[in-house]
Structure 1
Amino acid sequence: MFKIGEFSKLTQVSIRMLRYYDEMGLLKPAAVDKFTNYRLYGTEQIPVLNKIIFLRDLDFNVSQIAEVLNHWDNQFVSNQLESKQLEIESMIKDGQAKIDKIQMAKKDIEQEKITIHYNVSIKSVPSYEVFSLRRIVPDYYAEGQLWKEMSDFAAGNHVSISSNTFTIYHDGDYREKDVDIEICAPVNQMGENTNGFVYRRTEPVPIMACTMVYGSFENIADAYLAFANWLQEHRQYKMTGQNRQIVHRGPWNEEIPDKYLTEIQIPLKKK
Protein backbone atom coordinates (compact mmCIF):
# COMPACT_ATOMS: atom_id res chain seq x y z
CA MET A 1 0.00 0.00 0.00
CA PHE A 2 1.16 3.53 -0.77
CA LYS A 3 0.56 6.80 1.05
CA ILE A 4 -1.22 9.42 -1.03
CA GLY A 5 2.01 11.34 -1.77
CA GLU A 6 3.75 8.18 -2.97
CA PHE A 7 0.74 7.17 -5.07
CA SER A 8 0.66 10.70 -6.53
CA LYS A 9 4.31 10.49 -7.55
CA LEU A 10 3.99 7.05 -9.12
CA THR A 11 0.78 7.76 -11.06
CA GLN A 12 1.73 11.37 -11.96
CA VAL A 13 -1.63 12.58 -10.58
CA SER A 14 -1.62 15.41 -8.05
CA ILE A 15 -2.69 14.92 -4.43
CA ARG A 16 -5.35 17.59 -5.01
CA MET A 17 -6.95 15.55 -7.80
CA LEU A 18 -6.73 12.29 -5.83
CA ARG A 19 -8.55 13.94 -2.93
CA TYR A 20 -11.12 15.34 -5.36
CA TYR A 21 -11.76 11.89 -6.87
CA ASP A 22 -12.19 10.58 -3.33
CA GLU A 23 -14.74 13.29 -2.47
CA MET A 24 -16.64 12.67 -5.73
CA GLY A 25 -16.78 8.94 -5.05
CA LEU A 26 -14.82 8.03 -8.18
CA LEU A 27 -11.72 6.61 -6.47
CA LYS A 28 -11.85 5.97 -2.74
CA PRO A 29 -8.61 5.00 -0.95
CA ALA A 30 -8.15 1.26 -0.57
CA ALA A 31 -7.75 1.85 3.17
CA VAL A 32 -7.36 4.60 5.75
CA ASP A 33 -4.80 4.18 8.54
CA LYS A 34 -6.83 4.11 11.77
CA PHE A 35 -4.03 5.78 13.73
CA THR A 36 -2.88 8.51 11.32
CA ASN A 37 -5.95 8.82 9.02
CA TYR A 38 -3.55 8.66 6.05
CA ARG A 39 -5.20 7.63 2.79
CA LEU A 40 -3.62 4.43 1.43
CA TYR A 41 -3.78 3.21 -2.15
CA GLY A 42 -2.89 -0.06 -3.92
CA THR A 43 -1.66 -0.84 -7.42
CA GLU A 44 -4.97 -2.55 -8.20
CA GLN A 45 -6.53 0.95 -8.24
CA ILE A 46 -4.26 2.21 -11.04
CA PRO A 47 -6.43 0.83 -13.90
CA VAL A 48 -9.49 2.60 -12.44
CA LEU A 49 -7.49 5.84 -12.09
CA ASN A 50 -6.32 5.49 -15.69
CA LYS A 51 -9.94 5.19 -16.85
CA ILE A 52 -10.92 8.29 -14.84
CA ILE A 53 -8.05 10.34 -16.29
CA PHE A 54 -8.77 9.11 -19.81
CA LEU A 55 -12.47 10.07 -19.58
CA ARG A 56 -11.66 13.37 -17.85
CA ASP A 57 -9.26 14.31 -20.67
CA LEU A 58 -12.12 13.77 -23.12
CA ASP A 59 -14.29 16.30 -21.21
CA PHE A 60 -16.58 13.75 -19.54
CA ASN A 61 -17.98 15.34 -16.36
CA VAL A 62 -18.02 13.62 -12.97
CA SER A 63 -21.50 12.13 -13.31
CA GLN A 64 -20.70 10.84 -16.81
CA ILE A 65 -17.44 9.29 -15.58
CA ALA A 66 -19.27 7.58 -12.74
CA GLU A 67 -21.86 6.19 -15.17
CA VAL A 68 -19.22 4.80 -17.54
CA LEU A 69 -17.24 3.27 -14.66
CA ASN A 70 -20.41 1.58 -13.39
CA HIS A 71 -21.18 0.16 -16.87
CA TRP A 72 -17.67 -0.62 -18.09
CA ASP A 73 -18.28 -3.15 -20.82
CA ASN A 74 -17.02 -3.05 -24.40
CA GLN A 75 -20.28 -2.17 -26.12
CA PHE A 76 -21.35 0.53 -23.67
CA VAL A 77 -17.92 2.19 -23.63
CA SER A 78 -17.69 2.01 -27.42
CA ASN A 79 -21.10 3.69 -27.75
CA GLN A 80 -20.07 6.44 -25.35
CA LEU A 81 -16.82 7.01 -27.23
CA GLU A 82 -18.66 7.19 -30.55
CA SER A 83 -20.93 9.92 -29.17
CA LYS A 84 -17.98 11.87 -27.86
CA GLN A 85 -16.16 11.48 -31.18
CA LEU A 86 -19.04 13.13 -33.05
CA GLU A 87 -18.92 16.00 -30.56
CA ILE A 88 -15.15 16.43 -30.87
CA GLU A 89 -15.24 16.38 -34.68
CA SER A 90 -17.37 19.54 -34.58
CA MET A 91 -14.67 21.40 -32.67
CA ILE A 92 -11.59 23.21 -33.92
CA LYS A 93 -8.06 21.82 -34.35
CA ASP A 94 -7.54 21.24 -30.65
CA GLY A 95 -10.08 18.42 -30.79
CA GLN A 96 -7.91 16.32 -33.09
CA ALA A 97 -5.78 15.03 -30.22
CA LYS A 98 -8.91 13.86 -28.41
CA ILE A 99 -10.15 12.03 -31.52
CA ASP A 100 -6.84 10.16 -31.68
CA LYS A 101 -7.29 9.10 -28.07
CA ILE A 102 -10.71 7.69 -28.85
CA GLN A 103 -9.38 5.65 -31.78
CA MET A 104 -6.63 4.23 -29.58
CA ALA A 105 -9.13 3.42 -26.83
CA LYS A 106 -11.31 1.48 -29.27
CA LYS A 107 -8.35 -0.67 -30.25
CA ASP A 108 -7.48 -1.27 -26.60
CA ILE A 109 -11.05 -2.37 -25.87
CA GLU A 110 -11.06 -4.81 -28.80
CA GLN A 111 -7.55 -6.20 -28.30
CA GLU A 112 -7.31 -6.07 -24.46
CA LYS A 113 -5.14 -3.54 -22.69
CA ILE A 114 -1.47 -3.82 -23.68
CA THR A 115 0.82 -4.63 -20.76
CA ILE A 116 3.76 -2.27 -20.40
CA HIS A 117 7.12 -3.81 -19.57
CA TYR A 118 9.94 -1.78 -18.07
CA ASN A 119 13.04 -3.31 -16.53
CA VAL A 120 13.85 -1.87 -13.10
CA SER A 121 17.41 -2.15 -11.80
CA ILE A 122 19.07 -1.14 -8.54
CA LYS A 123 22.34 0.78 -8.33
CA SER A 124 24.13 3.21 -6.05
CA VAL A 125 24.65 6.80 -7.16
CA PRO A 126 27.69 8.69 -5.82
CA SER A 127 27.89 12.33 -4.81
CA TYR A 128 28.68 14.75 -7.65
CA GLU A 129 30.17 18.24 -7.73
CA VAL A 130 27.70 20.13 -9.88
CA PHE A 131 26.82 23.52 -11.32
CA SER A 132 23.09 23.78 -10.64
CA LEU A 133 20.06 25.99 -11.14
CA ARG A 134 16.98 25.47 -8.97
CA ARG A 135 13.71 27.27 -9.65
CA ILE A 136 9.97 27.06 -9.07
CA VAL A 137 8.67 26.87 -12.65
CA PRO A 138 5.09 26.87 -14.01
CA ASP A 139 5.08 23.18 -15.00
CA TYR A 140 7.32 20.27 -15.97
CA TYR A 141 7.51 21.43 -19.59
CA ALA A 142 9.33 24.57 -18.42
CA GLU A 143 12.41 22.51 -17.59
CA GLY A 144 13.72 23.04 -21.12
CA GLN A 145 13.90 26.78 -20.51
CA LEU A 146 16.11 26.18 -17.44
CA TRP A 147 18.55 24.15 -19.53
CA LYS A 148 18.67 26.92 -22.15
CA GLU A 149 19.32 29.48 -19.42
CA MET A 150 22.16 27.39 -17.98
CA SER A 151 23.68 26.76 -21.42
CA ASP A 152 23.63 30.45 -22.30
CA PHE A 153 25.16 31.43 -18.94
CA ALA A 154 27.89 28.78 -19.18
CA ALA A 155 28.80 29.86 -22.70
CA GLY A 156 28.89 33.55 -21.76
CA ASN A 157 30.92 33.04 -18.59
CA HIS A 158 33.33 30.35 -19.75
CA VAL A 159 31.94 27.72 -17.38
CA SER A 160 33.01 24.22 -18.42
CA ILE A 161 30.28 21.72 -17.64
CA SER A 162 29.92 17.99 -18.32
CA SER A 163 27.35 16.60 -20.73
CA ASN A 164 26.32 14.02 -18.10
CA THR A 165 23.57 16.27 -16.78
CA PHE A 166 20.57 15.29 -14.65
CA THR A 167 17.49 16.81 -13.05
CA ILE A 168 16.33 16.58 -9.43
CA TYR A 169 12.61 17.01 -8.67
CA HIS A 170 12.32 18.34 -5.14
CA ASP A 171 8.54 18.11 -4.68
CA GLY A 172 7.28 15.18 -2.67
CA ASP A 173 4.39 14.58 -5.06
CA TYR A 174 3.30 15.22 -8.65
CA ARG A 175 2.43 18.89 -9.27
CA GLU A 176 0.18 20.41 -11.93
CA LYS A 177 1.85 23.81 -11.48
CA ASP A 178 4.62 25.55 -9.50
CA VAL A 179 7.12 22.70 -9.83
CA ASP A 180 10.39 22.73 -7.83
CA ILE A 181 13.08 21.66 -10.32
CA GLU A 182 16.88 21.65 -10.02
CA ILE A 183 19.01 21.02 -13.09
CA CYS A 184 22.55 19.79 -12.44
CA ALA A 185 25.66 19.64 -14.61
CA PRO A 186 28.75 17.90 -13.15
CA VAL A 187 31.90 20.06 -13.14
CA ASN A 188 35.60 19.36 -12.69
CA GLN A 189 36.14 22.46 -10.56
CA MET A 190 33.90 24.32 -8.12
CA GLY A 191 33.39 28.07 -8.50
CA GLU A 192 31.53 30.98 -6.93
CA ASN A 193 27.74 31.11 -6.78
CA THR A 194 26.18 33.87 -8.89
CA ASN A 195 22.83 34.96 -10.32
CA GLY A 196 20.98 31.95 -8.92
CA PHE A 197 23.55 29.46 -10.24
CA VAL A 198 25.05 27.37 -7.43
CA TYR A 199 28.07 25.12 -7.12
CA ARG A 200 27.35 22.29 -4.71
CA ARG A 201 27.89 18.62 -3.97
CA THR A 202 24.83 16.43 -4.44
CA GLU A 203 23.87 13.80 -1.91
CA PRO A 204 24.93 10.19 -2.63
CA VAL A 205 22.08 7.70 -3.00
CA PRO A 206 23.00 4.18 -1.78
CA ILE A 207 19.91 2.52 -3.29
CA MET A 208 18.52 3.99 -6.52
CA ALA A 209 15.88 2.22 -8.60
CA CYS A 210 16.31 3.00 -12.30
CA THR A 211 14.54 2.30 -15.55
CA MET A 212 15.11 3.37 -19.13
CA VAL A 213 12.29 4.97 -21.11
CA TYR A 214 12.55 4.71 -24.87
CA GLY A 215 10.67 7.09 -27.14
CA SER A 216 8.64 10.26 -26.59
CA PHE A 217 8.56 11.96 -23.19
CA GLU A 218 4.87 10.95 -23.04
CA ASN A 219 6.09 7.41 -22.23
CA ILE A 220 7.53 8.57 -18.90
CA ALA A 221 4.15 8.33 -17.17
CA ASP A 222 3.97 4.62 -18.08
CA ALA A 223 7.42 4.07 -16.56
CA TYR A 224 6.22 5.44 -13.21
CA LEU A 225 3.28 3.01 -13.29
CA ALA A 226 5.78 0.19 -13.89
CA PHE A 227 7.68 1.41 -10.81
CA ALA A 228 4.46 1.16 -8.79
CA ASN A 229 4.03 -2.50 -9.72
CA TRP A 230 7.71 -3.20 -9.08
CA LEU A 231 7.54 -1.66 -5.61
CA GLN A 232 4.40 -3.64 -4.85
CA GLU A 233 6.32 -6.83 -5.62
CA HIS A 234 9.50 -5.77 -3.77
CA ARG A 235 8.03 -4.85 -0.42
CA GLN A 236 11.43 -4.70 1.28
CA TYR A 237 11.93 -1.27 -0.30
CA LYS A 238 10.31 2.07 0.42
CA MET A 239 10.49 5.31 -1.60
CA THR A 240 12.54 8.16 -0.12
CA GLY A 241 14.19 11.40 -1.20
CA GLN A 242 13.85 13.20 -4.53
CA ASN A 243 13.36 11.58 -7.93
CA ARG A 244 15.93 12.23 -10.64
CA GLN A 245 15.85 12.12 -14.41
CA ILE A 246 18.59 11.85 -17.03
CA VAL A 247 17.79 12.50 -20.69
CA HIS A 248 20.49 10.57 -22.55
CA ARG A 249 18.96 11.32 -25.94
CA GLY A 250 16.60 14.26 -26.31
CA PRO A 251 15.62 17.22 -28.51
CA TRP A 252 19.17 18.62 -28.57
CA ASN A 253 20.84 15.48 -29.97
CA GLU A 254 18.01 13.50 -31.56
CA GLU A 255 15.49 14.73 -34.13
CA ILE A 256 13.10 11.77 -33.86
CA PRO A 257 11.10 11.62 -30.56
CA ASP A 258 10.65 7.85 -30.91
CA LYS A 259 14.43 7.53 -30.46
CA TYR A 260 14.64 9.57 -27.23
CA LEU A 261 16.18 7.76 -24.24
CA THR A 262 15.36 8.89 -20.70
CA GLU A 263 16.48 7.35 -17.41
CA ILE A 264 14.10 7.63 -14.45
CA GLN A 265 15.64 7.30 -10.98
CA ILE A 266 13.77 6.85 -7.69
CA PRO A 267 15.69 6.72 -4.36
CA LEU A 268 14.78 3.81 -2.08
CA LYS A 269 15.54 2.61 1.40
CA LYS A 270 15.02 -0.75 3.03
CA LYS A 271 12.14 -1.03 5.45
Structure 2
Amino acid sequence: MFTIGDFARLGRVSVRMLRHYDSIGLLRPASVDPHTGYRYYTADQLRRLNRVIALKELGFTLAQVQAILDDVLDVAELRGMLRLRRAQLEAQVAADTARLAGIGARLRMIETEGRMTTEDVVLKQLPSVRLAELSATARSYQTPDIGPVIQPLYPELFRRLAAAGIQPSGPGIAWYAPAGAADGEAVVVHAGVTVAGDPGAAADVAVVDLPAVDAAATIVHRGSMDEVERSMAVLARWIEEHGYRADGFAREVYLDYCQDDPDNGVTELQLPVRPA
Protein backbone atom coordinates (compact mmCIF):
# COMPACT_ATOMS: atom_id res chain seq x y z
CA MET A 1 0.00 0.00 0.00
CA PHE A 2 0.98 3.64 -0.34
CA THR A 3 1.10 6.51 2.09
CA ILE A 4 -1.14 9.46 1.30
CA GLY A 5 1.88 11.42 0.07
CA ASP A 6 3.01 8.67 -2.30
CA PHE A 7 -0.54 8.10 -3.52
CA ALA A 8 -0.99 11.83 -4.16
CA ARG A 9 2.17 11.90 -6.27
CA LEU A 10 1.11 8.81 -8.22
CA GLY A 11 -2.30 10.33 -8.89
CA ARG A 12 -0.88 13.81 -9.52
CA VAL A 13 -3.17 15.42 -6.98
CA SER A 14 -2.58 17.18 -3.70
CA VAL A 15 -2.60 15.58 -0.26
CA ARG A 16 -5.10 18.24 0.75
CA MET A 17 -7.47 17.09 -2.01
CA LEU A 18 -7.24 13.46 -0.90
CA ARG A 19 -8.04 14.46 2.68
CA HIS A 20 -11.08 16.35 1.46
CA TYR A 21 -12.26 13.39 -0.63
CA ASP A 22 -11.90 11.22 2.46
CA SER A 23 -13.88 13.64 4.62
CA ILE A 24 -16.86 13.65 2.22
CA GLY A 25 -16.72 9.91 1.58
CA LEU A 26 -15.78 10.23 -2.08
CA LEU A 27 -12.48 8.34 -1.83
CA ARG A 28 -11.79 6.63 1.47
CA PRO A 29 -8.29 5.27 2.17
CA ALA A 30 -7.95 1.50 2.06
CA SER A 31 -6.85 1.53 5.68
CA VAL A 32 -6.06 3.94 8.48
CA ASP A 33 -3.48 3.21 11.17
CA PRO A 34 -5.44 3.23 14.44
CA HIS A 35 -2.46 4.58 16.38
CA THR A 36 -1.04 7.25 14.06
CA GLY A 37 -4.09 8.06 11.93
CA TYR A 38 -1.98 7.70 8.80
CA ARG A 39 -3.95 6.97 5.66
CA TYR A 40 -2.92 4.22 3.24
CA TYR A 41 -4.13 3.61 -0.32
CA THR A 42 -3.88 0.77 -2.83
CA ALA A 43 -2.85 0.96 -6.47
CA ASP A 44 -6.34 -0.16 -7.48
CA GLN A 45 -7.77 3.02 -5.94
CA LEU A 46 -6.07 5.07 -8.62
CA ARG A 47 -8.86 3.89 -10.95
CA ARG A 48 -11.49 5.61 -8.82
CA LEU A 49 -9.30 8.70 -8.37
CA ASN A 50 -8.81 9.01 -12.12
CA ARG A 51 -12.58 8.77 -12.67
CA VAL A 52 -13.20 11.42 -10.04
CA ILE A 53 -10.78 13.82 -11.73
CA ALA A 54 -12.18 13.10 -15.20
CA LEU A 55 -15.78 13.72 -14.11
CA LYS A 56 -14.76 16.89 -12.27
CA GLU A 57 -13.10 18.19 -15.43
CA LEU A 58 -16.36 17.56 -17.28
CA GLY A 59 -17.95 20.01 -14.88
CA PHE A 60 -19.81 17.69 -12.53
CA THR A 61 -20.05 18.60 -8.86
CA LEU A 62 -18.45 16.32 -6.30
CA ALA A 63 -21.91 15.21 -5.17
CA GLN A 64 -22.77 14.26 -8.76
CA VAL A 65 -19.43 12.48 -9.14
CA GLN A 66 -20.11 10.44 -6.02
CA ALA A 67 -23.60 9.51 -7.23
CA ILE A 68 -22.20 8.39 -10.58
CA LEU A 69 -19.35 6.33 -9.13
CA ASP A 70 -21.50 4.76 -6.44
CA ASP A 71 -24.19 3.74 -8.95
CA VAL A 72 -26.83 5.86 -7.22
CA LEU A 73 -27.93 7.01 -10.68
CA ASP A 74 -29.47 4.60 -13.12
CA VAL A 75 -28.24 4.37 -16.70
CA ALA A 76 -30.94 6.68 -18.08
CA GLU A 77 -30.15 9.40 -15.53
CA LEU A 78 -26.42 9.13 -16.19
CA ARG A 79 -26.98 9.29 -19.94
CA GLY A 80 -29.13 12.38 -19.50
CA MET A 81 -26.51 14.10 -17.34
CA LEU A 82 -23.75 13.34 -19.81
CA ARG A 83 -25.79 14.56 -22.78
CA LEU A 84 -26.69 17.76 -20.97
CA ARG A 85 -23.07 18.39 -20.05
CA ARG A 86 -21.97 17.68 -23.63
CA ALA A 87 -24.47 20.24 -24.90
CA GLN A 88 -23.24 22.78 -22.35
CA LEU A 89 -19.62 22.23 -23.36
CA GLU A 90 -20.46 22.47 -27.07
CA ALA A 91 -22.27 25.76 -26.45
CA GLN A 92 -19.32 27.03 -24.45
CA VAL A 93 -16.88 26.06 -27.22
CA ALA A 94 -19.04 27.82 -29.80
CA ALA A 95 -19.22 30.94 -27.64
CA ASP A 96 -15.48 30.91 -27.02
CA THR A 97 -14.79 30.43 -30.73
CA ALA A 98 -16.99 33.41 -31.58
CA ARG A 99 -15.32 35.44 -28.85
CA LEU A 100 -11.86 34.60 -30.23
CA ALA A 101 -12.97 35.59 -33.72
CA GLY A 102 -14.24 38.88 -32.35
CA ILE A 103 -10.98 39.54 -30.53
CA GLY A 104 -9.04 38.80 -33.71
CA ALA A 105 -11.22 41.20 -35.67
CA ARG A 106 -10.73 43.93 -33.07
CA LEU A 107 -6.96 43.42 -33.12
CA ARG A 108 -6.88 43.67 -36.91
CA MET A 109 -8.97 46.82 -36.72
CA ILE A 110 -6.54 48.36 -34.22
CA GLU A 111 -3.58 47.39 -36.39
CA THR A 112 -5.10 49.18 -39.41
CA GLU A 113 -6.27 52.30 -37.57
CA GLY A 114 -3.41 54.40 -38.90
CA ARG A 115 -4.21 53.43 -42.50
CA MET A 116 -7.98 54.04 -42.39
CA THR A 117 -9.38 56.56 -44.84
CA THR A 118 -12.74 58.25 -45.22
CA GLU A 119 -12.33 58.83 -48.95
CA ASP A 120 -14.54 55.84 -49.79
CA VAL A 121 -17.50 57.13 -47.79
CA VAL A 122 -20.36 58.38 -49.98
CA LEU A 123 -23.31 60.47 -48.76
CA LYS A 124 -26.45 59.58 -50.67
CA GLN A 125 -30.21 59.23 -50.58
CA LEU A 126 -31.72 55.78 -50.16
CA PRO A 127 -34.87 54.91 -52.11
CA SER A 128 -37.69 52.98 -50.51
CA VAL A 129 -37.40 49.24 -51.03
CA ARG A 130 -39.71 46.25 -50.56
CA LEU A 131 -38.30 43.26 -48.72
CA ALA A 132 -39.40 39.71 -48.03
CA GLU A 133 -37.87 38.88 -44.69
CA LEU A 134 -37.54 36.69 -41.64
CA SER A 135 -36.61 38.11 -38.26
CA ALA A 136 -35.31 37.05 -34.87
CA THR A 137 -34.05 38.72 -31.73
CA ALA A 138 -30.37 38.98 -30.77
CA ARG A 139 -29.17 39.65 -27.25
CA SER A 140 -27.24 42.73 -28.38
CA TYR A 141 -25.93 44.51 -31.47
CA GLN A 142 -22.45 43.12 -30.88
CA THR A 143 -21.05 41.02 -33.71
CA PRO A 144 -20.78 37.79 -31.63
CA ASP A 145 -24.48 38.08 -30.79
CA ILE A 146 -25.67 39.08 -34.28
CA GLY A 147 -23.82 36.43 -36.29
CA PRO A 148 -25.43 33.28 -34.84
CA VAL A 149 -28.89 34.86 -35.15
CA ILE A 150 -28.75 36.17 -38.71
CA GLN A 151 -26.80 33.33 -40.32
CA PRO A 152 -29.60 30.71 -40.28
CA LEU A 153 -32.25 33.22 -41.35
CA TYR A 154 -31.05 33.74 -44.91
CA PRO A 155 -30.90 30.07 -45.97
CA GLU A 156 -34.41 29.58 -44.58
CA LEU A 157 -35.66 32.76 -46.30
CA PHE A 158 -34.28 31.67 -49.68
CA ARG A 159 -35.68 28.15 -49.16
CA ARG A 160 -39.19 29.49 -48.55
CA LEU A 161 -39.05 31.84 -51.52
CA ALA A 162 -37.79 29.08 -53.81
CA ALA A 163 -40.51 26.71 -52.61
CA ALA A 164 -43.09 29.35 -53.55
CA GLY A 165 -41.45 29.93 -56.93
CA ILE A 166 -40.51 33.53 -56.09
CA GLN A 167 -37.30 35.06 -57.37
CA PRO A 168 -35.64 37.99 -55.52
CA SER A 169 -35.53 41.16 -57.59
CA GLY A 170 -32.49 42.65 -55.88
CA PRO A 171 -29.87 42.15 -53.18
CA GLY A 172 -30.30 40.96 -49.64
CA ILE A 173 -30.69 43.73 -47.08
CA ALA A 174 -30.39 43.29 -43.33
CA TRP A 175 -31.72 45.96 -41.01
CA TYR A 176 -32.03 46.28 -37.27
CA ALA A 177 -34.39 47.80 -34.70
CA PRO A 178 -34.48 47.96 -30.90
CA ALA A 179 -36.30 45.00 -29.39
CA GLY A 180 -37.81 47.10 -26.63
CA ALA A 181 -36.29 44.92 -23.92
CA ALA A 182 -35.98 46.34 -20.43
CA ASP A 183 -32.17 46.42 -20.57
CA GLY A 184 -32.21 48.20 -23.93
CA GLU A 185 -29.54 45.93 -25.42
CA ALA A 186 -31.57 43.41 -27.45
CA VAL A 187 -32.20 44.09 -31.14
CA VAL A 188 -34.54 42.60 -33.71
CA VAL A 189 -32.56 41.26 -36.67
CA HIS A 190 -34.40 41.53 -39.99
CA ALA A 191 -32.90 39.35 -42.74
CA GLY A 192 -34.52 40.50 -45.97
CA VAL A 193 -34.16 40.33 -49.73
CA THR A 194 -35.52 42.71 -52.34
CA VAL A 195 -38.69 41.49 -54.04
CA ALA A 196 -41.33 42.82 -56.40
CA GLY A 197 -44.99 42.41 -55.50
CA ASP A 198 -46.25 40.79 -52.31
CA PRO A 199 -45.11 37.17 -51.83
CA GLY A 200 -45.88 37.14 -48.11
CA ALA A 201 -48.72 34.63 -47.82
CA ALA A 202 -47.47 32.35 -50.57
CA ALA A 203 -43.94 32.10 -49.22
CA ASP A 204 -44.71 32.32 -45.49
CA VAL A 205 -42.51 35.38 -45.04
CA ALA A 206 -43.08 38.91 -43.83
CA VAL A 207 -43.14 41.73 -46.39
CA VAL A 208 -41.99 45.19 -45.34
CA ASP A 209 -41.41 48.44 -47.18
CA LEU A 210 -38.28 50.14 -45.89
CA PRO A 211 -38.84 53.88 -46.18
CA ALA A 212 -36.63 56.18 -48.21
CA VAL A 213 -33.81 57.89 -46.33
CA ASP A 214 -32.87 61.48 -47.15
CA ALA A 215 -29.20 61.10 -46.21
CA ALA A 216 -27.05 58.07 -45.43
CA ALA A 217 -23.30 57.75 -45.06
CA THR A 218 -22.33 54.64 -47.01
CA ILE A 219 -19.21 52.58 -47.45
CA VAL A 220 -18.47 49.26 -49.16
CA HIS A 221 -17.15 46.68 -46.71
CA ARG A 222 -15.15 43.85 -48.23
CA GLY A 223 -14.69 40.62 -46.32
CA SER A 224 -16.38 38.86 -43.44
CA MET A 225 -18.99 40.70 -41.43
CA ASP A 226 -17.09 39.50 -38.35
CA GLU A 227 -14.72 42.35 -39.17
CA VAL A 228 -17.32 45.01 -39.96
CA GLU A 229 -16.14 47.16 -37.04
CA ARG A 230 -13.23 48.51 -39.09
CA SER A 231 -15.59 49.88 -41.74
CA MET A 232 -17.94 51.21 -39.07
CA ALA A 233 -14.98 53.08 -37.58
CA VAL A 234 -14.35 54.74 -40.94
CA LEU A 235 -18.01 55.78 -41.13
CA ALA A 236 -17.81 57.18 -37.61
CA ARG A 237 -14.79 59.33 -38.51
CA TRP A 238 -16.48 60.63 -41.67
CA ILE A 239 -19.70 61.48 -39.79
CA GLU A 240 -17.80 63.36 -37.12
CA GLU A 241 -15.56 65.21 -39.60
CA HIS A 242 -18.52 66.36 -41.73
CA GLY A 243 -20.75 67.57 -38.93
CA TYR A 244 -23.39 64.82 -38.98
CA ARG A 245 -24.95 62.59 -36.36
CA ALA A 246 -25.79 58.91 -36.76
CA ASP A 247 -29.51 58.26 -36.88
CA GLY A 248 -30.25 54.66 -35.93
CA PHE A 249 -28.73 51.38 -37.12
CA ALA A 250 -26.87 50.82 -40.37
CA ARG A 251 -28.50 48.79 -43.11
CA GLU A 252 -26.39 46.04 -44.66
CA VAL A 253 -26.82 45.59 -48.41
CA TYR A 254 -25.24 42.32 -49.53
CA LEU A 255 -23.83 43.16 -52.95
CA ASP A 256 -22.07 39.79 -53.09
CA TYR A 257 -23.54 37.39 -50.55
CA CYS A 258 -21.05 34.57 -49.83
CA GLN A 259 -22.41 32.44 -47.02
CA ASP A 260 -19.92 29.63 -47.66
CA ASP A 261 -16.98 32.01 -48.15
CA PRO A 262 -17.64 35.11 -46.04
CA ASP A 263 -14.12 36.47 -46.52
CA ASN A 264 -15.05 37.23 -50.14
CA GLY A 265 -18.33 38.94 -49.30
CA VAL A 266 -19.05 42.50 -50.43
CA THR A 267 -21.48 44.53 -48.32
CA GLU A 268 -22.53 48.16 -48.49
CA LEU A 269 -23.13 49.70 -45.09
CA GLN A 270 -25.78 52.42 -45.15
CA LEU A 271 -25.99 54.48 -41.97
CA PRO A 272 -28.75 57.14 -41.87
CA VAL A 273 -27.42 60.51 -40.71
CA ARG A 274 -28.75 63.96 -39.88
CA PRO A 275 -27.06 67.31 -39.24
CA ALA A 276 -25.52 67.58 -35.78
- TM-score normalised to the size of structure 2? 0.51
1:222 partnered with 2:230: yes
Which segment is superposed worse, 200-209 or 162-171?
Answer: 162-171
- For residue 189 of structure 1, the aligned residue among 182, 197, 201 is 197
Give, in whole Å, the separation in 2 of the partners of 1:206 and 1:176.
Answer: 27
Contact 1:172 1:242 in 2 (8 A): no
8 Å contact from structure 1 (residues 128, 202) kept in 2: yes
What does residue 132 of structure 1 align with?
133
The higher-RCO structure (CA 8 Å, 6+ apart) is 1
**Residues 137, 219 of structure 1: alpha-carbon distance in 2 compared, 3 angstrom cutoff:** closer
Secondary structure of 1:122 counterpart: strand
Identify the residue that residue 268 of structure 2 maps to in structure 1: 263
Q: Does 1:238 align with 2:238?
A: no
Q: CA deviation at 1:162?
A: 2.4
1:151 aligns with 2:162: no
Take 1:210 and 1:172, find their aligned partners in 2: how far apart are those partners? 24
Provide the residue aligned with 1:210 in structure 2: 218
Q: Is the 8 A contact 1:171 1:242 kept in 2?
A: no
Q: Deviations over 1:76-112 (max 9, x none)?
A: xxxxxxxxxxxxxxxx9x79x69x96xx79x96xxx9
Q: Aligned equivalents of 2:203 and 2:269: distance in 1?
A: 29
Which residue number in structure 1 is paired with residue 168 of structure 2? Answer: 161
Q: 1:154 to 1:220 in 2, by over 3 A?
A: same
Q: Secondary structure at the match of 2:255?
A: strand
- TM-score normalized with structure 1 length: 0.52
How far 1:131 sits from its partner (Å)?
1.3
| Structure 1 gap segments, 5+ residues each | 1-91
Change (3 A) 1:130 1:229: same
Within 5 Å, give how 1:19-98 maps onto structure 2. Answer: none
* Kept after mapping to 1: 8 A contact 2:255/2:267: yes
| 1:114 alignment partner, SS class | helix
Q: Give the secondary structure class of the aligned counterpart of 1:148.
A: helix
Preserved contact between residue 192 and residue 198 of structure 1 (Cα < 8 Å) = yes
Percent identical pairs in the alignment equals 17
User: How far apart are the structure 2 equivalents of 1:178 and 1:193?
Assistant: 28
* Cross-structure match for 1:84: none
Give the length in aligned residue pairs. 167
Q: How big is the shift at 1:219?
A: 2.9
| Compared CA separation, residues 121 and 242, structure 1 to 2 (3 A) | same
Deviations 1:173-227 (A, max 9, x none): 9x99743111222222114447862223211111111001122323310111112
Q: Does the residue aligned with 2:114 lie in a helix, a strand or coil?
A: coil
Instruction: Decide which of 195, 203, 207 is 1:199's aligned counterpart.
Output: 207
Segments of structure 2 that go 5 or more residues without pairing to the other structure are 1-92, 140-144
